[in-house]
Amino acid sequence: MRLIAPMLALAALAACDSGTESREEAASTRAVQREHTAIPYGTASRGTAARAAALASPGSSATPELLDRGRERFLIFCSPCHGASGRGDGLVVSRGFPAPPSYHQERLRGAPFEHIVSVITNGTGLMHSYADRVPPEDRWAVAHYVRSLQRTEAQTAGASE
Amino acid sequence: MAQLFSRRATTIFRVVLTLTPLAAAAGGGLTYAWLRSDAAWGVGKPAPQPIPFRHDLHAGVLKIDCRYCHTGAERAADAGMPSAQTCMTCHSQIWAGASVLEPLRTALALDTPLRWRSVSRLPDFAYFHHGAHVSKGVTCATCHGRVEEMPKTVKARTLSMGWCLECHRDPGSRLPLHTAVLATAEKKQPSGQAPRAHDTSLLMSCSTCHR
């Protein structure tokens, strides 16, 4: 008789959740992605001024290192759609993405560097903004590389005529 | 009074006496082998993902660079997972109505993250910096294997401490600098020079990785 109370307590405990049931099966797949939190009104995030300065015209001047950097960034972020030569024939286009305009048309050949940087920053048409992926200094590097692509293309076109 | 032990008792006792340590040794050996096997570390085991993303298609067929989506790989501790915006760069047009992409559209509409599950997550007591490794010439494939051939993303190496140390002991001979997938690492070195002399004592120091 004296055992009934402890037995009942044990039975009640048996239904308790140990917290282990809901855990992920594979311990190596813990998700640590942080929620996006908007910047509070009236404040600026660290590095805002530096980013703005890096984005300001006329940007960095074209050095071989900058062009190398631009080429590398171009191949990562732009070539999937624009193609390695800038003709708008990237592999993603072959899968059904509407082809972007070629860099080698008259309108874009005459476009200032600022236009290219602004398109990377804000996007245009179907192109999304790349501001979250390409930092300001790299945008100038890409712009310089795009310009060098246009020049090379114009030269080869001129030579073949 | 009858005999307590039968005639066979001595034999049984001897057999048990011999077999018990043998069984213990075999059990220990099996445990050791299991703990060091790939399966115990989850190698080759895919994680449940919100969308059946295929690296073999995106990185393999379409040849999209790793860094297009994992933008932090060169400069941050975390290589990072792509935001819904990043996916939408293409998927606003391609497969725009596909039902498998519903979690993506939901994430975008509700401004919530798309929770991709990493298969290569290290435990909290290990400090790892992607940028430090990539800038020294460690390629993505060194640790993640040939991701561009994986229909389902799986862990390719154990990523155990022993595995890390294999390279930390003698990084020079192991870094495949010349076949680097990421050309960055090579370019950062002055031409014709070997990568910065690795201070092996620092690489083998406990507090380098356990801070």
Put simply, whether A30 touches B (Cβ < 8 Å) is yes
CA dihedral over A111, A117, A122, A127, signed as positive or negative: positive
Mean of pLDDT values over A80-100 = 91
Contact between chains at B65 and A75 (C-beta distance less than 8 A): yes
Containing B133, the helix (H) or strand (E) segment is helix B130-134
| Angle at CA of residue A93, ends A87 and A99, nearest 5° | 55
* CB < 8 Å to B62, chain A: 80, 91-92, 95
ipTM of the complex as predicted: 0.77
pLDDT at A25 over 80: no
Distance CA B65, CA B71 (A): 10
CB atoms within 10 A of CB B126: 13
- The percentage of residues in chain B with a pLDDT greater than 70, rounded to a whole number, is 88
Identify the band that residue B51 occupies on the pLDDT scale cut at 50, 70 and 90: very high
The domain spans of chain A are 64-156
Contacting residues of A for B155, CB less than 8 Å apart: 28
Q: So where are chain B's domains?
A: 55-81+116-190+197-209
Chain A residues touching residue B89 (CB < 8 angstroms) = 127-128
CATH superfamily for A64-156 is: Cytochrome c-like domain (1.10.760.10)
Question: Residue B16 belongs to what H/E stretch?
Answer: helix B9-36
- The predicted pLDDT at position A154 comes to 86
* Amino acid in position B40: A
Higher pLDDT, B193 or B128: B128
How confident is the model over B65-91, as pLDDT tens digits? 999 999 989 888 888 889 888 999 999
The predicted-structure confidence for B94-153, as pLDDT tens digits, reads as follows 988 889 999 999 998 988 888 898 899 888 888 899 988 888 888 899 899 999 999 999
- pLDDT mean over A126-155: 91
Interface check A28 vs B, CB under 8 A: yes
How far is it, in rounded angstroms, from Cα B90 to Cα A97?
Answer: 7
Grade residue B199 by pLDDT with cuts at 50, 70 and 90: low
The chain B residue lying nearest A34, using CA atoms, is: B113
- What residues of B are in contact with residue A33 (Cβ under 8 Å)? 81, 113, 115-116
